[in-house]
Structure 1
Amino acid sequence: MKIKNCYAIVALLCLWVSIAAAQTIPSPKSFFGFNIGDDYQLTNYAKSAEYFKKLAAASNRTKLVDIGLTEEGRHQYMMIISSPANIKNLAQYKDISQKLARAEGLSDQQARALAAKGKAVVWIDGGLHATEVVGAHQLIETTYQLISRKDPETMRILDNVIILMTHANPDGMELVSNWYMKDSDPKKRNLNIPRLYEKYIGHDNNRDFYMMNTKESTNMNHQLFLEWFPQIMYNHHQRGPEGSVLAGPPYRDPFNYVFDPLMITGIDALGAAMYSRLNTENKPGYTRLTGSSFSTWYNGGLRTTTQFHNMIGLLTEIIGGPTPENIPVVPQRLIPNGATPNPVLPQSVWHFRQSIDYSVSLNYAVLDYAARQHDEVLFNIYRMGKNAIERGNEDHWTLSPKRSEAITKAYKSDQKDTSKRAGASAGEGNPDDPMGWSTRGNNIPIKYYDSVLKNPELRDPRGYILPADQPDFPTATKFINALIKAGIQVNKATAEFTVAGKKYPAGSYIVKTAQAFRPHVLDMFEPQDHPNDFLYPGGPPIKPYDAAGWTLAFQMGVHFDRILDNFNGPFQRIPYGQLQSPAKQTIAVTPGAGYLLSSQINNAFIAVNDLLKAGVEVYRLPKGAAGMSETGTFFVPARGNAKAVLAKAADKLGVKATGIAQRPANAVKISSMRIALWDMYGGSIPSGWIRWIMEQYHFAYDVVYPQDVDAGNLHSKYDVIIFVTRGIPPIGGERINRNSLFGDREPKPEDTPAEFKNRLGKITAEKSIPQLKAFLEDGGSIVTIGSSTNLAYHLGLPVHNALVEKNSKNEDKPLPGTKYYVPGSILSVTVDPTIPAAWGMNNVADIDFDNSQVFKLDSNAAEKGVRPIAWFATDKPLRSGWAWGQSYLKDGVAAFVAPVGKGELYAFGPEITFRAQSHGTFKLLFNQLYSTSK
């Protein structure tokens, strides 16, 4: 009996030892060999993932989740942290979070009960922009502290919050850290990486979150909008404005007009918690509001897309890195004000660890707020969702600058005495009362408000219908999938139906606005109305944080109808997250001479490339054919593997193959071209996006660098070369689209590993342009996009900048920003679809325009064979965004083709492949990638 008791005691002791061992949390230093934040030290993703696995095995406060593979095939991990009791009941708390976020069928009383029962969910990420190394490393340090600490604040956080610690860019961390640590001499370590730190897109990985072209953005959005629905998300970035330590919430105006005000005030509350904590801990240097450039206008970023889903999206941009730096003297930053209440003093040395400590403090501020206010943040996301559903079910008008201006215009048009100041405070500005505080004597009668904001024709739609019989329904399906991946509720018609007197076929998609994420729905369909934003009246424009307008349905060329009244039909609700495949199409059983493919369908180019690779002949019909009249229709003779390839395209790509009895006249045979795509050391983001597009649409290509161009003999290797923005330098003061995302990161040759030396260099007028001219004269084609259309000036073509004015010396000078300014927006252009470059396009197209090149053709241009492809036919081309002085664009040429020797130069001023989102203009690139012969 005593022996048995001894065995029991020993067993119990072993169990206690086992439990104690399991709860021994390895510190970062014990695992990595250095403290997180030590100068000149970085860890890579492989080691950090290994560390997270050890933490998950050692702590019952954690659950490590693999959220998917990256573009380079790594596992992307999310560490869930909470109390042991909460970890055991994650499914229950996730269900509560989902129900409250979607707000479907809940009363306020039920929502409050769920909020009281639930746990706040907070997302914290790091490493999205991989050269901003603080983000990934603060993630490691914060995770360790949350798992190992036992102080009252940490325990309160663990009891009341579920924390989603997510690495945003594993591939980038592996590249950047390995590159930095490759030098044994710490003083030589640098971040001059040779390629983009996320495959294809680099810095634009924070511009992909409404589109989700990449695996990483898809992985994270699945957790955000289909799984966990965090009420608060915190996105860590660098770099803080000079003379400060960091920029954070709240942000400067404008904020997007579709937001629920609770989202904006939620940002205010969290911002107060964050900078108050830093002040309490004697950590100065936090700037906000007008102290930085960040706003809440743009959708598409990791934190900004969440804001359109009623989540309190937070961003901080902090200084620091493993190589010590300084805080410079910026006198205007030293003055305490509302934007920077507690300025930081200049410092000769700022250490990496200081930035890590600031980041951990900021994380704890957010988590402590969520812990103390967990029921409030849970209920508020429900309230925002419920508000959205109610607005979608009733007549509602979204406020915007154009609506405000319309009220003033309506009032003024009725006034006989136009000299009166009446109405000034409502739109045109009163110098004696710039804020419009006093309205005595100039009140506008309410009927003018009613004429605009109660006008039935101007109200928000109840929903949108995407007809299944539109020309490029496969692309419309891709648009629908972007919505579905963002957690939007979509319906599909199971039979033909009629709404507002119009018949729609079965298979059409329906997106109603009476849903919790209505702000995102409106933002994807409706034009953005960015305010006129100037530093002061008559002063220079204030650059938007990113784009001013981006309406995705416009970018993708999707046809849809806005339905203003409530409507129903034979609609089947698609389960949340269930992606749609293109509608299966038919292939002619007895094709006769062959098959016709519509040139209006982008996916047809995939089928054509597959046919050419299979050795099947393909032709194009300049004027179309009977029953398929669009220019550039594809004709495929019924021979060889044609039927098998087309059957697959019909089944998987939604490309219909129509039979034709006789071979069409005037068919032009096409062949694949040897395609070169320009890139540079460090990686060009626009070039990377084209790589993604080319791979999606099955075009083969080579990447070339300036040294390859300078070596000459290009026509022996390539038939067409593509240059994107920043490829070709400017000439003689001609206007250039400067994108601040692309810096001159090129290192010295002696500091560059041998395998990357061939990427060094730039396109120059002295060496490169003569080789490109010779390539064209030998019969090659060059496609230039954005600022690379500068090549036209280098070649002396009969075109010049349309956006100029004469100065006092009668010289052409670019229009100043006070007269003309069009930051990233969507404009409408007229297109000539009879030109081969624009085959398959409609007569009018929406294009992405970012202060882009616009041309005027010289009087002898036509005589020299220069043909416009697209131009601005009106003085009001703005479709979405901000266009100050847009009347200057009228009659300007946006795109043209010009002969150079035996070859042709294609110049597209707008960004026709913008972030792989502008599907509506992809054909303007694709058409140039085939050679033709009779």
Structure 2
Amino acid sequence: MIKRYLIKGAWMFFLVTSLNAVAQEVPSPKSHFGFSIGDNYQLANYTQTEAYFKKLAASSKRVRLVDIGKTEEGKSQYMLIITSPENQQNLAKYKSISQKLARAEALTEQEAKDLAQQGKAVVWIDGGLHANETVGAHQLIQTAYNLASRTDAETTRILDDVIVLMTHANPDGQELQSNWYMREKTPEKRSLAGLPVLYQKYAGHDNNRDFFMLNLKETQNMGRQLFVEWNPQIMYNHHQSGPAGTVVAGPPFRDPHNYVFDPIILTSLDAVGAAMHNRLNVEDKPGYTQRNGSVFSTWYNGGLRTTTYFHNMIGLLTEIVGSPTPMEIPLVPSRLLPNSDSPNPVLPQKWFFKNAIDYSVSMNYAVLNYAQRYHDELLFNMYKMGKNSIERGSKDTWSFSPKKIEAINAAAKKDKSDNAGGRRSMDPKFLDEVMKDPANRDARGYIIPANQPDFTTAIRFLNALIRTGVVVQKANAAFTVEGKQYPAGSYIVKTDQAFRPHILDMFEPQDHPNDFKYEGGPPVAPYDAAGWTLAYLMNVKFDRVLNAFDGPFQKMPLGELLKETPQTLPSASGFALSAQANESYLAVNELLKAKVEVLRNPVDGSFYVPASAAAKAALNKAEHNFGMKVTAAASKPKGAVKVKPSRIALWDTYGGSMPSGWMRYIMEQYHYDITVVYPPDIDAGKLKDNYDVLIMVGGSVPALANEGGGRGFNPPTVDNIPDEFKGRVGRMTAEKSVPQLKAFLENGGNIVTIGSATNLANHLGLPVKNALLTADGKRLPNDKYYVPGSVLSVKTDAKLAANWGLDENTDVYFDNSPVFKITENDGKIKPLAWFATDKPLRSGWAWGQANLKDGVAAFEADYGKGKLFAFGPEITFRAQTHGTFKWLFNQLYK
């Protein structure tokens, strides 16, 4: 007995000393960086962080370092996989379980429960997406160290039952922002303000608006891990800053939520949010607010957090107060009285970086502790949500929406019987009248025909779906569905799959509720967009199929991008490229760079290319695996005009403009050569000597005193600006900049203005005015007219060269955008697009949309020897609006 006791004691001693040794072997942040995470006035850059992550992986068997891809600036983007050493030996098994349960295919409920018992919960924690929100990247470092080194019971339990994916969301940004802050030798003088460039090469802050499109390399890298590889049950996205008078805003979030979600998403947010909130309260960390305590909702798709909801993941967001420079929690009296949103208010106080790190680590542990305790439920619930989606997509399903509720009320109001409106409970027949109408059923699937005008853009759209884990099928032969014939090579997206919510959200219109603070009061602004239906924005032609259907369909490999087989160029004396296909413009740019002659048909804007070896080489180079269509042309079109490349300038500003950054991205994708110019370059004059076209995006042109909006960027005053950036400092002004723009137009230059930049028309004295005014000339108030980011339909004149390739009815992204009324016209102003109906809304929310009828959305105007093009809608918005790219492309040739 004594011998057994001694052996047991020796074993315990060995175990404790081994665990201590592990803890000692893992390098602390201070030993690596030279300071503790959370120290005032101290930031780590990405080079240092990457080196530390490598040390953690080398020193701890709990940590595996995975390079998930390159960033836009060529850095390696790393994800740390942290779990117990035993789990590290079986990662492939646990990843497979997570994938199977997320897909919910060919599994019985019992099989799913068995897998859930065998599996480990997978939790994603990221940081650094918005690089000026420095808490995010640094809490990632501290949490990784804690998980790699701590030997307490809670950490051990977590590591046994949870696989933690700790992902750096923006390496380039951390490097830029931290180096900028630390450049000042005197700590008290350090500032995050005034970074000369966007902290993501193209998108800046908009990198958190790219997760259904997945344009950017960083978002593609993360999207693959989230939606194809690991399918975590919980993902936690760290941000800042919390609302004034609080410390942190977190889940659960305010309404409205998107109606395509499984209800388990909403109740899960309540549960995990409660765990986070409760832990802070137990640890005497006040200041957490939720629901209506902040602006964050679950309506929008496209954010790193929000896109996960459409994939049956519990997406968490916190916005916390914090900075390496000490700050204050301000006094906000309305925040001091406890309520259900903020039951534990925080008092005004000095707030240090370490406070924010401590709160963030506590919330990380709250999430991980919840995942550990309920790991089997989380795994099974993800299966259940996926299974629910498959079942809904496999039968006749009717989804509710605000418009359908309105239709039920309208049906009752129209009915004159005693059953209508005279009782507190409405007759169920009115529900049946709307919700059993076959036309109101959800689609069983969508067919994207191969013979549509811009099939190359349809491929780009499908690849966006594939990157988010959607299963796509391809027709190997011609087929017929519901009496309509489709060619081989068409694509099919069925809704009987786990990620059905995302599929519906990409194909169907969003129906945002009329959301007002109170009846008759001002609207409550959506957190981001109200409507974004990607198939509409990209002008993808598709058919909704309401009944079960099948055909000669082959499932494409999961997560593998479509690559259309390049077509053999036809044998002919010339080639034709349609103006309806965006890829044609890419091909034209390659042809022009190869010095190949390109002509344009004055009837429809199509391009004609005489056959030659150089032409064939350039066309093959431009193919890009998207299936670009090149047809034989027997002869040169009558009246064809030679196309020449323009010298293109794009406005930008010190610190970087997001609309300008997205424009740079588009120009690179479609192979346009551009020069970026800044306000001092414009003010210097002689623009026509160097450029033929100037692109002015929203925020560039100052507004007239009586025309709100479009104030332009006002860069902060920054000390010690590096010499290479001094030439960028300044802003556009009516006094200095506008005269140079006038001179550019008068000398034959063309200017393309988008969004608020269309203010230039007012500066030029053109006979156009705001179409959205009251009878006494004032702007319509928000309670009468309000259209946050939504998709609207406009009518176009296809005969005009500026409109070549666009549909007669074109969908545009509209965000309280300028709408014009032409007050007089001598033929020098031509409307390019206008609102032909009093109901132009296609997707989103448009309160008072009848006010738009007959308003001009876009126009061109002769000015001197040049032209001004004014596009009120955001025709290049976040590089998502492929359907309106041609409005830009058509103006970029001579």
TM tier relative to shorter chain? over 0.9
d(CA) in 2 for partners of 1:301, 1:902:
44
Look up the equivalent residue of 1:633 and give its one-letter code. Answer: S
Look up the equivalent residue of 1:473 and give its one-letter code. Answer: F
Task: Give the equivalent residue in structure 2 for 1:7.
Answer: none
d(CA) in 2 for partners of 1:870, 1:519:
33
What's the CA shift for 1:293? 0.4
Look up the equivalent residue of 1:620 and give its one-letter code. Answer: R
TM-score (norm 1): 0.92
Task: Give the equivalent residue in structure 1 for 2:425.
Answer: 443
For residues 196-215 of structure 1, what are the alpha-carbon distances to aligned partners after superposition, in whole Å with 9 as ceiling and x for unaligned?
Answer: 00110000100000111011
Task: Give the equivalent residue in structure 2 for 1:521.
Answer: 503
Kept in 2, the 8 Å contact 1:240–1:246? The answer is: yes
d(CA) in 2 for partners of 1:270, 1:90:
25
What's the CA shift for 1:636? 1.1
SS for the counterpart of 1:759 is: coil
Q: Is residue 773 of structure 1 aligned with residue 742 of structure 2?
A: yes
d(CA) in 1 for partners of 2:425, 2:215:
50
SS for the counterpart of 2:37 is: coil
What's the CA shift for 1:756? 1.1
What's the CA shift for 1:19? 11
Task: Give the equivalent residue in structure 2 for 1:128.
Answer: 129
d(CA) in 1 for partners of 2:578, 2:545:
29
Look up the equivalent residue of 2:653 and give its one-letter code. Answer: M
d(CA) in 2 for partners of 1:835, 1:135:
50
d(CA) in 2 for partners of 1:73, 1:233:
26
Given candidates 761, 768, 788, the residue that maps to 1:792 is 761
SS for the counterpart of 2:372 is: helix
What's the CA shift for 1:187? 1.9
Q: Is residue 839 of structure 1 aligned with residue 811 of structure 2?
A: no
Look up the equivalent residue of 1:549 and give its one-letter code. Answer: G
Is the deviation greater in 523-532 or in 594-603? 594-603
Kept in 2, the 8 Å contact 1:619–1:667? The answer is: yes
RMSD: 1.6
d(CA) in 1 for partners of 2:495, 2:22:
54
d(CA) in 1 for partners of 2:488, 2:745:
49
Kept in 1, the 8 Å contact 2:700–2:713? The answer is: no
d(CA) in 1 for partners of 2:715, 2:147:
37
d(CA) in 2 for partners of 1:585, 1:639:
17
What's the CA shift for 1:398? 1.1
d(CA) in 2 for partners of 1:821, 1:839:
31
What's the CA shift for 1:779? 0.3
Look up the equivalent residue of 2:656 and give its one-letter code. Answer: G
Given candidates 696, 706, 709, the residue that maps to 1:736 is 709
d(CA) in 2 for partners of 1:355, 1:708:
42
Task: Give the equivalent residue in structure 2 for 1:6.
Answer: none
Kept in 2, the 8 Å contact 1:461–1:564? The answer is: yes
Task: Give the equivalent residue in structure 1 for 2:880.
Answer: 917
What's the CA shift for 1:581? 1.6
SS for the counterpart of 2:164 is: strand
Task: Give the equivalent residue in structure 2 for 1:888.
Answer: 851
SS for the counterpart of 2:242 is: coil
Paired positions, count: 878
Task: Give the equivalent residue in structure 2 for 1:309.
Answer: 311
For residues 206-251 of structure 1, what are the alpha-carbon distances to aligned partners after superposition, in whole Å with 9 as ceiling and x for unaligned?
Answer: 0000111011000001101111110000000001001110100000
What's the CA shift for 1:20? 4.5
Is the deviation greater in 664-673 or in 355-364? 664-673
Task: Give the equivalent residue in structure 1 for 2:52.
Answer: 51
Kept in 2, the 8 Å contact 1:737–1:850? The answer is: no
Q: Is residue 897 of structure 1 aligned with residue 860 of structure 2?
A: yes
Task: Give the equivalent residue in structure 2 for 1:352.
Answer: 353
Look up the equivalent residue of 1:761 and give its one-letter code. Answer: G
SS for the counterpart of 1:36 is: coil
d(CA) in 1 for partners of 2:68, 2:455:
31
Given candidates 224, 239, 242, the residue that maps to 2:241 is 239
d(CA) in 2 for partners of 1:868, 1:663:
30
Q: Is residue 707 of structure 1 aligned with residue 689 of structure 2?
A: no
d(CA) in 1 for partners of 2:667, 2:239:
30
Kept in 2, the 8 Å contact 1:492–1:508? The answer is: yes
What's the CA shift for 1:833? 1.6
Q: Is residue 210 of structure 1 aligned with residue 212 of structure 2?
A: yes
Kept in 2, the 8 Å contact 1:735–1:853? The answer is: no
Task: Give the equivalent residue in structure 2 for 1:597.
Answer: 577
Look up the equivalent residue of 1:823 and give its one-letter code. Answer: P
Q: Is residue 637 of structure 1 aligned with residue 620 of structure 2?
A: no
SS for the counterpart of 1:521 is: helix
What's the CA shift for 1:485? 0.5
Task: Give the equivalent residue in structure 1 for 2:389.
Answer: 388
For residues 59-86 of structure 1, what are the alpha-carbon distances to aligned partners after superposition, in whole Å with 9 as ceiling and x for unaligned?
Answer: 1111111101100000000001111111
Identity of aligned residues (%): 64
SS for the counterpart of 1:928 is: coil
Task: Give the equivalent residue in structure 1 for 2:4.
Answer: none
- For the structure 1 residues 99 and 544, does the alpha-carbon distance in structure 2 shift closer, same or farther, using more than 3 Å as the test? same
Kept in 2, the 8 Å contact 1:130–1:176? The answer is: yes
Task: Give the equivalent residue in structure 2 for 1:327.
Answer: 329
Given candidates 258, 261, 279, the residue that maps to 1:259 is 261
What's the CA shift for 1:678? 0.3
Kept in 2, the 8 Å contact 1:585–1:651? The answer is: no
Q: Is residue 753 of structure 1 aligned with residue 733 of structure 2?
A: no
For residues 394-431 of structure 1, what are the alpha-carbon distances to aligned partners after superposition, in whole Å with 9 as ceiling and x for unaligned?
Answer: 111111100100000011111279xx9x64xxxxxxxx
Task: Give the equivalent residue in structure 2 for 1:474.
Answer: 456
- For the structure 1 residues 294 and 19, does the alpha-carbon distance in structure 2 shift closer, same or farther, using more than 3 Å as the test? closer
Task: Give the equivalent residue in structure 2 for 1:8.
Answer: none
Kept in 1, the 8 Å contact 2:255–2:297? The answer is: yes
What's the CA shift for 1:185? 1.1
d(CA) in 1 for partners of 2:214, 2:587:
23
- For the structure 1 residues 883 and 18, does the alpha-carbon distance in structure 2 shift closer, same or farther, using more than 3 Å as the test? closer
Given candidates 709, 716, 721, the residue that maps to 2:689 is 716
Look up the equivalent residue of 1:601 and give its one-letter code. Answer: A
What's the CA shift for 1:732? 2.7
Specify every segment of 5 or more residues in structure 2 that has no aligned partner in the other structure, as ranges: 1-13
What's the CA shift for 1:337? 0.7
TM alignment of 1:416-495, pairs within 5 A: 423=421, 441-495=423-477
Task: Give the equivalent residue in structure 1 for 2:66.
Answer: 65
d(CA) in 2 for partners of 1:585, 1:870:
35
Q: Is residue 676 of structure 1 aligned with residue 618 of structure 2?
A: no
For residues 762-810 of structure 1, what are the alpha-carbon distances to aligned partners after superposition, in whole Å with 9 as ceiling and x for unaligned?
Answer: 000000000000000000000000000000001100100001113xxx3
TM-score (norm 2): 0.96
Given candidates 650, 654, 660, the residue that maps to 2:633 is 660
d(CA) in 2 for partners of 1:582, 1:867:
39
d(CA) in 2 for partners of 1:665, 1:467:
31
Kept in 1, the 8 Å contact 2:23–2:149? The answer is: no
d(CA) in 1 for partners of 2:26, 2:200:
32
SS for the counterpart of 2:643 is: strand
- For the structure 1 residues 151 and 650, does the alpha-carbon distance in structure 2 shift closer, same or farther, using more than 3 Å as the test? closer
Look up the equivalent residue of 1:832 and give its one-letter code. Answer: D
Kept in 1, the 8 Å contact 2:715–2:729? The answer is: no
Specify every segment of 5 or more residues in structure 1 that has no aligned partner in the other structure, as ranges: 1-12, 424-439, 624-630
Given candidates 865, 868, 891, the residue that maps to 2:828 is 865
For residues 547-589 of structure 1, what are the alpha-carbon distances to aligned partners after superposition, in whole Å with 9 as ceiling and x for unaligned?
Answer: 0000000000000000000000000011101110235334221
Kept in 1, the 8 Å contact 2:713–2:731? The answer is: no
What's the CA shift for 1:22? 9.3
Kept in 1, the 8 Å contact 2:203–2:662? The answer is: yes
